[in-house]
Amino acid sequence: MRFKLHVWRQSGPNAKGAMEAHDVDGITPEMSFLEMIDLLNEKLLADGKEPIAFEHDCREGICGACSMVIDGVPHSPERAVTTCQVHMRSFQDGDDIHVEPFRAKAFPVLKDLVVDRDAFDRIIQAGGYVSVNTGGTPDANEIQIPKVAAESAMDAAACIGCGACVAACPNASAMLFTAAKIAHLGQLPQGQVERGARARAMVEQMDAEGFGNCTNHYECMDACPKEIHVEWIARMNRDYLKASLTAKD
């Protein structure tokens, strides 16, 4: 198979970027999308040019490092996958393929397809946890949790923190990411004590980072490789509102 790849190149955080076209040849349908870029990078390197910088690590869809937009869709037009899980058999021989970084004000480009997603870490740091120290915890089976609640919490906890939701949203909103963590902990008994404070702190941090708000496009859910559901956003809004109205501070 052969393709014409149009890739965003940007030499540094403050540099002006542009799309750059490359012909890639000798691709097989079994190759993953990233292996296709590996091959192109080998070619660039052989020509003495700088390879395309991109983030990747586990290459099995769980680490959340991939941060590419393929043909206008974060990760890929395929549903429920990260870029590393996309294979070239999903494309037609001869296709033009456009590759850009995740774009959002809160995700500045560092180089080529690499973006800075520290804002997500700061949202978790603001309150995405249960405040227990190591040691002194009760026996694990002293906390009984209905299977349905545990499974539902796991659905929300499956978020890999990649940021596709932000890149897909016309408002560059991080509400799906933030809501997923709030829903994970908020559905478990362990998360009740700080439920309101957590929702407030995380939402406020999310706003401070420059992410937009939700206007119900649901593009985030469509782009999410783990199919995190937008219903968590409604839940977050309820938790946030309730906490804001009843807060003592």
Under a CB-based contact definition with an 8 Å cutoff, are residues 68 and 75 in contact? yes
Quick check: 112 and 53 in contact, CB under 8 A?
yes
Site pattern 150..179 for other proteins (x: CB under 8 A): xx-xx--xx-xx------------------
Min separation Cβ 160 and other proteins, Å: 7
Candidate segments 1-9, 95-103, 143-151, 170-178, binder of other proteins by CB under 8 A = 143-151
For other proteins, the closer of residues 12 and 210 by Cβ is: 12
Q: Kindly tell me which of 142 and 245 has the beta carbon lying closer to other proteins.
A: 142
Burial of residue 184 (number of CB atoms within 10 Å: 0-12, 13-18, 19+): buried
- Cβ neighbors of 133 (< 8 A, separation 6 or more) are none
Q: Give, as ranges, the residues between 185 and 204 that touch other proteins (CB under 8 A).
A: 185, 188, 190-191
Question: Helix (H, G, I), strand (E, B), or coil: what is residue 87?
Answer: strand
Answer for the pair 96, 4: CB distance below 8 angstroms, yes or no. Answer: yes
Tell me: does residue 133 bind other proteins (CB under 8 A): yes
Nearer to other proteins, 18 or 140 (CB): 140
Q: Please tell me the count of residues contacting other proteins according to CB under 8 A.
A: 78
- For residues 114 and 89, what is the distance between their CA atoms, to the nearest angstrom? 25
DSSP state of 6: E
If the CB atoms of residues 195 and 217 are measured against other proteins, the closer one turns out to be: 195
Task: Provide CB contacts within 8 A for 69, sequence distance 6+.
Answer: 75, 99, 100, 101, 102, 103, 167
Place of tokens 């500045």: 108
CB of 35 to other proteins, least distance (A): 5
- Binding status of residue 16 toward other proteins by CB under 8 A: no
Residues 98-127 that bind other proteins (CB under 8 A): 110-111, 114, 116-118, 120-121, 124-127
Name which of residues 17 to 56 contact other proteins (CB under 8 A): 28, 30-32, 34-35, 38-39, 41-42, 44-46, 48-51, 53, 55-56
Q: 207-246: which residues touch other proteins (CB under 8 A)?
A: none
Q: CA-to-CA distance for 50 and 43, rounded, in angstroms? A: 10
Q: Which one of residues 16, 72, 92, 147 is an interface residue with other proteins (CB under 8 A)?
A: 147
Cα distance between residue 186 and residue 153, in whole Å:
8
What are the counts of helices (DSSP H) followed by strands (DSSP E) for the chain? 8, 7
* Residue 122 or 217 with smaller CB distance to other proteins: 122
